[in-house]
Amino acid sequence: MAQMLLSTGNMPVLPPAPREWTAVPEESVVLNPTLRWPPKGWKSYSPEEKGVVTEYAAGVMEMTNGVHPILRQFLLYKYSHLSLTGAILPPNEEMKMLYHNYKTVRDIALGKSKFSTEVQRQFILCLTPKDPTNMDLFSTIPLRLSST
């Protein structure tokens, strides 16, 4: 259940898990008519450049539905499934809850949680969305749970 929850996330309380983009051919996922992911040559980018292109893609995806005011860090968490391996994304004090929820669910999925089985079950149940976000486009891309 935890792994399924990480594949979609449940914003605004749980971001989706980053994907393992190293296993995916470049530009193989069509995000919109003008943007394909992961970008060509991304493995040679510096961590900062990876962060910048990830933020750009998140902004493009958000604007697809019209321009909405959104905090930068919330945007990065909402589209964390686009985060390239090794990207430097700036931390934000206001988003600690999202990070801790993600870390707790990730630890449950990896079998590393120190909580009792019942507490784990209750935690997952409270974060499970009634109407999950459609992430079919990313369903074949493995989750990246153990590396940055």
Selected residue with higher pLDDT from 68 and 46: 46
Confidence of residue 148 (pLDDT cuts 50, 70, 90): low
Each residue's pLDDT tens digit, 120-145:
999 999 999 888 888 888 989 999 88
Average pLDDT of the chain?
91
pTM of the predicted protein model:
0.81
Q: Sorting pLDDT into bands at 50, 70 and 90, what band is 49?
A: very high
Query: Whose CA is closest to 84, among 38, 125, 121?
Result: 38
